[in-house]
């Protein structure tokens, strides 16, 4: 009956009175809780930290020994660095031990040492206080002595590791000597294990001793707490009130935007849980706010990086455009005059020489085009041509191009071609010539006496194509076996002395392999030092089914000196290019005049009559773009004159830009003569020309 009465009374009373009643009844349990709390603070927060620290010390020591053993067999510097890194944990703990042994220790140094030993920073202060307060206790004193002995053994282990490292790096020690040092390390490791066990055991004894002391102390305190239970009840009530008030005040501050506000947690009861949850909520809110701010900052940074990257890309494109112009301008003159000279040479030898010059220039233009198509080159997408070519001419041209060098060194260059190979094949002759020229030039570089032979054999005949085996063999210095696997890599050469003696960047063979591989071919090497090298590569070429003689393109007028009556204004600032264009045009019978820049072009066009203008794009005073815009703004028939852009710029979009500003057509330097004639005839005929010129003549 009485129990039921009490239960009913508890349901009816307020929460505060229920707390008073409960605390009065549970005074003894509160004492136990206080003892448990004190035990947790005194032992688990400090002794447990030492146990954990000892475990970290032991694990780091074992990992270090393992890394040292691995390093002794692998000789990998990374394994030795792992050993040194693992030792940072014991080194940090030892720093604290040595500092605390001083009469006036530096607490900051001691704390930093424990942190370097990977102890939790929140536990460090308690560990240091425990060492200072109980260092005279036999258990703790014994543990510290064992700790010092372990550090001495660890220093011996470090000395052995330094010696091992020196032996391995210098490569002067045998494996047997290394194993002896490892045996010494193993002995020290066993001693360290014994010391670690003694330390753990001693620490356990000290922990139990501390527990006994704490229990006795708390039992004494429990008597006092029992007599003051009413005061505790009042205190708890006030704590609850304080906690609730703190939460209310904190919520008020948060509502005003003060996100750095945190509620003080006074207890671990419901109110404390509520306060902790409130703080966690504010942490999340502040974190999200910070993330939003960081995201905005990152967005701004990304925008700036994007702008920087775009500016860099623009600078790269400007550089490529400038490079194209600067290379193509002299190439235009070289190839143009070489082709004019080709028609006037009489002897076969002279024609062969000029043919090599023209072909080398054409090959250089192909390579230049690959460089300018920057995105395609970065993606590794080089386009290979598929056109008919004479294989024997390619091989013979390669020999002729290296003839001067071979004669200077007194080396005979020979070649043989399988008779079963047709005269004409379909493939990329420029890339084939590039591969052969690279291999033969490489052979000449490293051959001091003897000969170089080039052979081409058909190894497999198919219905539509042939598989050819190309071999370039020399009697040079040869390549060591250990270098043969890497010889096709970029910046690799046969020996360290090769670059100093023969020069070069070590890129030739790398380019050769890439060109062969991209055409689904394969390349191999056989070499022996002192006897020479043999490079072989296999490529497939299509057969030419119907050999048809090329038919010349029919122009509006015959390509003979029939250009009389057509007056052409050449806008060009480069004197050599002026000479070339004038020679080419006069050879066809055109009448010509020259303007050195855009301003002179405008003046001559206003005061004279021309049928067409050949406009260079890059000129001083006024460039070709601006001159074209001003011509298109003129009155009457003057603004309708045909304009052909002539430029060494061939980057993507240049043609479209020229058409956009008002030009009628575009031809790149170096230009093809017949292509230039055709474009002139086409535009002049379309506009309408005086009867003095017969387009059908």
pLDDT in tens, 492-543: 454 445 444 444 434 467 778 888 888 899 999 999 888 899 999 999 999 9
Q: Residue 238: enclosing H or E segment and its boundaries?
A: helix 229-255
Residue 130, strand partner residues: none
Cis peptide before 670 (omega within 30 of 0): yes
CB 80 within 8 A of CB 67: yes
What local confidence, expressed as pLDDT, does residue 645 receive? 92
With H, G, I as helix, E, B as strand and everything else as coil, classify residue 266. coil
With H, G, I as helix, E, B as strand and everything else as coil, classify residue 483. helix
In 424-447, which positions are buried (b, 16+ CB within 10 angstroms) versus exposed (e)?
Answer: ebbbbbbbbbbbbbbbbbbbbbbb
Distance of CA 609 to the CA centre of its chain: 59
The reply to whether the predicted model has a pTM over 0.85 is no
Q: Spell out, as residue ranges, where the chain has pLDDT lower than 50.
A: 7-8, 10-12, 14-15, 373-379, 490-492, 494-496, 498-507, 548-561, 690-697
In sequence order, the 6+-apart residues with CB closer than 8 A to the CB of 342 are 351, 354, 355, 358
Q: What CA–CA distance (Å, rounded) separates 473 from 487? A: 16
Q: What CA–CA distance (Å, rounded) separates 361 from 364? A: 5
Q: What CA–CA distance (Å, rounded) separates 438 from 445? A: 10
Nearest in space to 185 (alpha carbons), one of 71, 91, 89: 71
User: Is CATH 1.10.287 correct for 301-383?
Assistant: yes
Question: What are the domain boundaries of the chain?
Answer: 45-227, 301-383, 385-543, 567-687
What local confidence, expressed as pLDDT, does residue 492 receive? 47
In 260-284, which positions are buried (b, 16+ CB within 10 angstroms) versus exposed (e)?
Answer: ebbbebbeeeebbeebeebbeebee
Phi, psi of 615 (to 5 degrees): -110, 115
Q: What CA–CA distance (Å, rounded) separates 319 from 149? A: 68
We find that the CATH architecture of domain 385-543 is 2-Layer Sandwich (3.30)
Q: What CA–CA distance (Å, rounded) separates 354 from 531? A: 36
Q: What CA–CA distance (Å, rounded) separates 556 from 687? A: 13
Q: What CA–CA distance (Å, rounded) separates 334 from 328? A: 10
What local confidence, expressed as pLDDT, does residue 7 receive? 46
Residue 612, strand partner residues: 568
Q: Residue 216: enclosing H or E segment and its boundaries?
A: helix 175-227
Q: What CA–CA distance (Å, rounded) separates 433 from 512? A: 11
In sequence order, the 6+-apart residues with CB closer than 8 A to the CB of 243 are 265, 266, 267, 271, 272, 274, 275
Question: For residue range 235-266, what is the model confidence (pLDDT) as tens digits?
Answer: 556 666 776 777 788 788 777 777 777 777 76
What local confidence, expressed as pLDDT, does residue 651 receive? 60
CATH, range 567-687: 3.40.50.2300
CB 113 within 8 A of CB 93: yes
Residue 458, strand partner residues: 468
């Amino acid at each position: 009956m009485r129990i039921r009465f009490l239960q009913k009374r508890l349901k009816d009373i307020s929460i505060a009175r229920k707390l008073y009643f409960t605390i009065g009844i549970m005074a003894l349990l509160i004492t136990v809780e206080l003892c448990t709390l004190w035990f947790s603070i005194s032992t688990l927060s400090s002794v447990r930290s030492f146990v954990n620290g000892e475990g970290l010390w032991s694990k780091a020591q074992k990992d270090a020994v393992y890394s040292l053993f691995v390093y002794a067999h692998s000789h990998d510097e990374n394994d030795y660095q792992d050993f040194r890194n693992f030792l940072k944990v014991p080194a940090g703990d030892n720093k604290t031990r040595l500092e605390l042994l001083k009469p006036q220790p530096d607490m900051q140094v001691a704390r930093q040492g424990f942190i370097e030993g990977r102890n939790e920073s929140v536990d460090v202060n308690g560990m240091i206080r425990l060492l200072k307060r109980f260092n005279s206790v036999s258990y703790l004193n014994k543990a510290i002595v064992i700790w010092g002995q372990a550090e001495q053994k660890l220093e011996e282990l470090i000395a052995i590791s330094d010696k091992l490292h020196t032996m391995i790096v210098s490569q002067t020690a045998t494996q047997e000597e290394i194993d002896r040092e490892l045996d010494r390390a193993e002995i020290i490791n066993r001693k360290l294990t014994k010391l670690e066990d003694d330390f753990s055991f001693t620490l356990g004894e000290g922990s139990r001793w501390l527990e006994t002391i704490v229990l006795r102390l708390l039992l004494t305190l429990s008597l006092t707490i029992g007599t003051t239970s009413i005061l505790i009840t009042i205190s708890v009530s006030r704590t609850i009130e304080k906690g609730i008030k703190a939460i209310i005040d904190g919520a008020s501050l948060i509502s005003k935007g003060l996100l750095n506000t945190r509620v003080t947690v006074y207890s671990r009861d419901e109110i404390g849980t509520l306060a902790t949850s409130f703080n966690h909520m504010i942490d999340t809110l502040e974190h999200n706010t910070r993330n939003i701010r960081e995201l905005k900052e990152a967005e701004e940074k990304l925008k700036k990086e994007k702008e920087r990257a775009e500016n860099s890309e623009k600078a790269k494109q400007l550089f490529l455009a400038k490079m194209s112009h600067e290379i193509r301008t002299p190439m235009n003159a070289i190839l143009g005059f070489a082709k004019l000279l080709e028609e006037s040479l009489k002897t076969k030898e002279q024609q062969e020489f000029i043919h090599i010059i023209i072909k080398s220039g054409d090959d250089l233009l192909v390579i230049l085009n690959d460089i300018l198509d920057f995105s395609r080159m970065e993606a590794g997408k080089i386009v290979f041509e598929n056109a008919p070519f004479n294989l024997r001419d390619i091989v013979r041209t390669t020999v002729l191009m290296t003839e001067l060098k071979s004669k200077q060194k007194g080396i005979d260059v020979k070649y043989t071609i399988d008779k079963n190979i047709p005269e004409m094949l379909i493939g990329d002759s420029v890339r084939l010539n590039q591969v052969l020229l690279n291999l033969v030039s490489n052979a000449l570089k490293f051959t001091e006496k003897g000969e170089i032979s080039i052979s081409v054999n058909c190894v497999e005949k198919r219905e539509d194509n042939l598989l050819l085996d190309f071999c370039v063999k020399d009697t040079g210095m040869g390549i060591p076996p250990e270098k043969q696997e890497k010889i096709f890599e970029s910046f690799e050469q046969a020996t360290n002395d090769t670059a100093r003696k023969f020069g070069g960047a070590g890129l030739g063979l790398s380019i050769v392999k890439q060109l062969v591989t991209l055409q689904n071919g394969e390349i191999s090497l056989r070499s022996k030092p002192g006897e020479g090298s043999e490079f072989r590569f296999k490529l497939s070429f299509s057969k030419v089914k119907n050999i048809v003689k090329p038919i010349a393109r029919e122009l509006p007028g015959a390509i003979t000196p029939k250009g009389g009556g057509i007056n052409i204004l050449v806008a060009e600032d480069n004197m050599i290019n002026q000479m070339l264009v004038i020679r080419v045009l006069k050879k066809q019978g055109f009448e010509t005049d020259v303007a050195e820049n855009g301003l002179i072009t405008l003046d001559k066009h206003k005061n004279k009559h021309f049928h067409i203008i050949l406009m260079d794009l890059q000129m001083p005073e006024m460039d070709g773009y601006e001159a074209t815009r001003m011509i298109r703004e003129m009155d009457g028939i003057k603004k309708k004159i045909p304009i052909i852009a002539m430029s060494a710029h061939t980057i993507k979009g240049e043609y479209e830009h020229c058409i956009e500003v008002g030009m009628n057509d575009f031809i790149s330097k170096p230009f093809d003569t017949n292509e230039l004639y055709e474009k002139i005839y086409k535009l002049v005929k379309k506009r309408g020309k005086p009867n003095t010129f017969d387009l059908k003549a």
